[in-house]
Structure 1
């Protein structure tokens, strides 16, 4: 599988855009690869599967179909009122009508440093903070700033689809390390060590994790952090689901648990999940000052600064109380218990109980090869397509996360929609025949 991950996908000439007249001209058809319309760097990456599923579900709804979507990783709650009010007030502030610092408004970077200490116990200076256009830009810029062509990056799988694609864009090689439901989708140090080579320069770590909801305990994080430090690796610690933990699980920030990695660690976070602000597109990274400086230089050319109005909204969000966060967490916990129970009532489905985030990642491997309503299901891609066509339910297949044979369902949707959606799945899969 590692070798498969290292092979770039290719785009054939027939897949390239044609001329306005509907056919590629002969001179274009004969162009060498270096003169093709789309660069190899971009042509070899895949579209975000989660966003593609969400877009298709929304398009079908606009066409009149009663689609229930478990595909989108965004809270169904509105952005808190005081955050919206802060944004509205910022619109009238002429200071925000101008360019601002590429690394973020100074007052927001100070607030993010304070918020980080409050929420995770990690003491940092504002000089270690860069504000970005969502967590994705923070991740992309961290890879771009730290990776060189040929570097290998260990990525625990199932993984968020953006990780390997952003690594490839930086010219590096993603190396997946697989965990399944038997371990709660958590990798071990022994697995990481087996994946390590002399070319390994970085580890991507996420807890709570997307798509599985896996949360690593304190000792497991300490062991992984110490292993990374001993091997002189950079670590990208994605902590965007820090507040979404349930039951006895606890969130622990990797650089807090393992101080030895702090000088080679980039913490990524954002307001999309905990503050119900996915559309505001504000994230941030916390890193050593020289890395922040490099990321800022890149951002100054890529996007200049993050929208000042969205930054003002973020300042209000992270400086306020966590009351709305706790309200959302309670609702997600209730939905989590409901969806796990209902999915495990389906023959052939094995749904572990996630400890964090707002996703379940059930195994459907026992259903593969079965016939459902006259259609043979051989992959989780097939099953996801069948659920959309026959049950009008949108889910994301495990292929998107590097592990075929699974489905990801977000439970960040209204309780009634969640119940009805899983009932539709139950009714459809009741017709499965071996």
Structure 2
């Protein structure tokens, strides 16, 4: 049957992170002991108080539709959270609750983009940013961010990348995949450029609670009223509360953008999961002790992994300041042969590691940085030690 499909969506690429994870799970199903450093989600269970709130919602039959843009009670709690944590004043009308932060981002680009618009994306980037922009008929414009600059945007390069078609800049701090955290001074420079050029800022702050080494999270929207009006803050429950499968994300923006996103969501998905919304209320306004315990555990693993990687011949990394990822530099292996296979890029390196060492790591190509691998420390210390031991042994074998 000859069916002509959408040209735009035929050009979308599948998520490499999920494909690597799927292959690793397939190997595990065959009884192979695979250590996975791939998909980014906390290896902690959702806290008891949040799960109990969900059970309570089920037992009390609070299971019907909510307003398409989210429960008013949840929006109110989110507004209080943004004021307390981020010094941001919003009303319920500024908030859209969606089916995870990825869905929030989808709504954002659908709401702000037109054909011919350009969206600036710093590289390395989270794998879905370019595809979400393309799905909104806009064009990704990449700014390469060097390891020497902690994978953060150079403001001079940012200025040079702006054209009459530039609609928005994506800002992800703390960053997936690099763990980079922008300082207040750095954000002030970006904000000044955005305001001068009347460019929107899509500020993905989903990892805001996972920061180390006395760094602090600053929302660019909190700097002044002008940049706040141009900023769409994106956040959610997945990372801070170990609620990846619950699928609750949210945005805070000016009311005109929020209204368009609300209309989009009303016709595409309607409301996010009702039970998860009630559970999210408890997550945000309940005890936050879980977050600190998880953060301290991640911090311990981060320090171990950074030290271990930098002591494996041929590998290196800088110290990430947030999230739970490390960008591992594999430049020394590009163009070399390992176990009879010529390593031309990060995909070759990743496939060989999985095949020969039973270790799953996402290739940097997925993030626009082919000389790197994203390795996650959202894993047990036991698995981290074993996985790095396998990698080290595998790389040592190449010279034997």
Q: TM-score, normalised by structure 2?
A: 0.98
Counterpart contact for 1:180–1:186, Cα < 8 Å: yes
2:31 maps to: 64
Q: Secondary structure at the match of 2:141?
A: strand
Counterpart contact for 2:99–2:248, Cα < 8 Å: yes
Distance in 2 between the 1:150 and 1:105 partners?
35
Q: Secondary structure at the match of 1:403?
A: coil
Q: Secondary structure at the match of 1:138?
A: helix
Post-superposition offset of 1:432: 3.2
Post-superposition offset of 1:120: 1.4
Distance in 2 between the 1:106 and 1:143 partners?
24
Post-superposition offset of 1:180: 1.9
Distance in 2 between the 1:416 and 1:141 partners?
39
Show structure 1 runs of 5+ residues with no match.
1-24, 29-34
Show structure 2 runs of 5+ residues with no match.
none
1:365 maps to: 331
Post-superposition offset of 1:433: 4.3
- Does 2:356 correspond to 1:390? yes
Distance in 2 between the 1:182 and 1:259 partners?
32
Q: Secondary structure at the match of 2:233?
A: strand
1:55 maps to: 22
Higher relative contact order (CA 8 A, sep 6+): 2
Residues 383-405 of structure 1 deviation map (CA, whole Å, 9 limit, x = unaligned):
00010001100000011001111
1:82 maps to: 49
Counterpart contact for 1:70–1:411, Cα < 8 Å: yes
Computed over aligned residues only, the root mean square deviation of the Cα atoms, in angstroms, reads 1.2
Distance in 1 between the 2:23 and 2:60 partners?
38
- Does 2:120 correspond to 1:154? yes
1:181 maps to: 147
Q: Secondary structure at the match of 1:356?
A: coil
Q: Which of 215, 233, 239 does residue 205 from structure 2 map onto?
A: 239
1:217 maps to: 183
Q: Which of 358, 379, 383 does residue 413 from structure 1 map onto?
A: 379
1:400 maps to: 366
Q: Secondary structure at the match of 1:408?
A: strand
Post-superposition offset of 1:60: 1.6
The structure number with the bigger radius of gyration is: 1
Q: Secondary structure at the match of 2:66?
A: coil
Matches within 5 A, 1:177-326: 177-326=143-292
Counterpart contact for 1:346–1:430, Cα < 8 Å: no
Counterpart contact for 2:57–2:63, Cα < 8 Å: no
Residues 295-344 of structure 1 deviation map (CA, whole Å, 9 limit, x = unaligned):
11110111111110010111110111221000000000000001111111
Distance in 1 between the 2:202 and 2:376 partners?
24
Post-superposition offset of 1:241: 0.5
1:142 maps to: 108
Counterpart contact for 1:90–1:312, Cα < 8 Å: yes
Counterpart contact for 2:334–2:345, Cα < 8 Å: yes
Counterpart contact for 1:240–1:270, Cα < 8 Å: yes
Matches within 5 A, 1:307-346: 307-346=273-312
Q: TM-score, normalised by structure 1?
A: 0.90
Q: How many equivalent pairs are there?
A: 400
Q: Secondary structure at the match of 2:298?
A: helix
Distance in 2 between the 1:246 and 1:339 partners?
14
Distance in 1 between the 2:272 and 2:78 partners?
15
Q: Secondary structure at the match of 2:328?
A: coil
Counterpart contact for 1:370–1:432, Cα < 8 Å: no
